[in-house]
Structure 1
Amino acid sequence: MAQHPAARSLLKRHPLQRLPSPSRGASALLHTIGLASFAYSFNYLVTHPNPVNESYGWHLQYLTIIGLSLATVTFAVGLLADLTLSHRLFQIKNILSVASAPMECLISLLYWGLRAIDPKLVLPDWAPPLALTDDFSFHAMPAISLVVDLLFFSPPYTIAFLPALGLSGFIAFGYWFWIERCYQVNKFYPYPIFEILNTTQRVGLFAFSALLMTTATALLVWLYAVVNGKEIEDVVNGDLKKVKSGNLKGQ
């Protein structure tokens, strides 16, 4: 007997995924809003030029802009999946999210944390102050959008601790090598804190960042379980059936 399209869609959807995605409804709306915010941030870089615009590496010297770029790719693939209802593109979006969501959480934590200590650690003297809306767009909206997408429109992460640590370490130390290359050409670091720290201290900062990003991944896994439950094995009429934790009826 041929399956109804809606039934096939439910079979593809993870049992813990709270809302339909890919879909042309709420999922597409979230991805559209996110992409509009990201486009606003990129437009700001063009309409408010500074010395970084003409330097080697452009604004991609900043971890903020690298994270914003990855978030943009993640949501662009997600929106394409929504519009085409492609499960393959949806899977690619989820794979990208494993890196982009924890990375944006790391960026938000580091930026707002360092800024609370001393704004001069992350904002050079020559840089004009960011308006609150612009600051929010760069340093909060990407993390919020990706976390919402994970919690309500995605299956749970399946990455284990060691692979998460390896991915985080690759990103952190890859960024370190990149900014050192930019420094060789530009003779300045993108963030003032890098000028203050010596080489050993910078290594420690990037190692700490890798650990913090791994912790962010673990916290997202935990938060997903809090919001959506966990999969457990339950015996129903002699068969193994996956149910949400706390769901005694197995529905």
Structure 2
Amino acid sequence: MAPFKTVFFHSVAAAVMAYGYSNLRQIPFDIFIRTQKGGHSQYLTIIGLSMAFLCMVFGLGHDLLPTVTVFRSIKRIVLMVALPVAVVVTSVYWNLYLFAPEMILKPLPDEMMPRPDETVPSSASSVPLQRIPLSIDLSLHAAPALALLTDFFFVEKKYSRNQAVYGGLLACFVACVTYGSWVEYLAQFNGAFPYPFLTDNPFNIRVAIYVVLSSFALVTFWIMNALHA
């Protein structure tokens, strides 16, 4: 990309992600989430969003001050983790959202449950799920992956073989252990995990989920790096 285009791209991408996060306060169950230990930081979506936002900010810093190489160096380190995380979040979220929403979306808190309409029998048995407006949803669960993929393939150079193999292994291992330990710790206080598919499974299955998703992220990163010209 030309310098002006990269400045525009990084600015718009960062703004879209900031829009999604800042508007979380507008959704009714935001207050409930903030009362929990860890708040929004218990969600991999928000952690991935933060890393993607940092990549765009450091990318913008490099665009504006190309002689300050530390911006690009830090960006490439963060990108190695942020890119596979964003792809995993987007892939898992939208597939479950469309085909098994009860596995990814929590029911509304009791105090927010609508009173059942006794004249409509089916309404009493259906459990409303926590959904957010589509514009915010796309900013959180699509924009990070799209922005990072665009940045990686059209702005950044591919990682060297050693960087991809050893750096990718280290990054995914650290991310897996860190996030898994974090949500396990928070669940002791909150009584549930941020995602129902974790709450509904015992510890050994949760560990398997962490390992499988981390392995998927690592393989995805290797494939994307191999496809990079």
TM-score, structure 1 length as denominator? 0.77
2:185 is matched with which residue? 181
Distance 1:117 1:169 in 2: 29
1:95 is matched with which residue? 77
CA contact (8 A) 1:172 1:207 kept: yes
CA contact (8 A) 1:122 1:191 kept: yes
1:68 is matched with which residue? 49
Deviation, 1:132, is: 2.3
Amino acid at match of 2:205: Q
Instruction: State the number of aligned residues.
Output: 204
1:207 is matched with which residue? 211
Q: Which runs of 5+ in 2 are unaligned?
A: 109-128
Residues 182-227 of structure 1 show CA distances to partners (whole Å, capped at 9, x for unaligned) of 11111121111111111111011000011101011112112313xx
For 1:103-118, list aligned pairs within 5 A.
Answer: 103-118=85-100
Asked which structure has the greater RCO (Cα within 8 Å, sep 6+), the reply is 2
2:111 is matched with which residue? none
More strand by share: 1
Q: Which residue of 83, 106, 109 maps to 1:124?
A: 106
Residues 26-71 of structure 1 show CA distances to partners (whole Å, capped at 9, x for unaligned) of 1111110111111111112223223111211010000000000111
Q: Which residue of 14, 32, 38 maps to 1:57?
A: 38
For 1:153-232, list aligned pairs within 5 A.
Answer: 153-158=155-160, 159-225=163-229
Amino acid at match of 2:44: L
Deviation, 1:162, is: 4.1
TM-score, structure 2 length as denominator? 0.84
Amino acid at match of 1:191: Y
Provide closer, same or farther for how the CA distance between residues 150 and 205 of structure 1 changes in structure 2, counting only shifts above 3 A.
same
Amino acid at match of 2:169: L
Distance 2:83 2:194 in 1: 22
CA contact (8 A) 2:51 2:82 kept: yes
For 1:125-140, list aligned pairs within 5 A.
Answer: 125-126=107-108, 127-140=129-142
1:232 is matched with which residue? none
Report the 3-state secondary structure (helix = DSSP H, G, I; strand = E; otherwise coil) of the residue aligned with 2:228.
helix
Higher deviation after alignment, 89-98 or 136-145: 89-98
Q: Where has structure 1 moved over 4 Å in runs of 4 or more?
A: none
Q: Which runs of 5+ in 1 are unaligned?
A: 1-18, 226-251
Structural RMSD (CA): 1.5
CA contact (8 A) 2:41 2:47 kept: yes
State the percentage of identical aligned residues. Answer: 27
Does 2:27 align with 1:29?
Answer: no
Amino acid at match of 1:46: R
Amino acid at match of 1:200: N
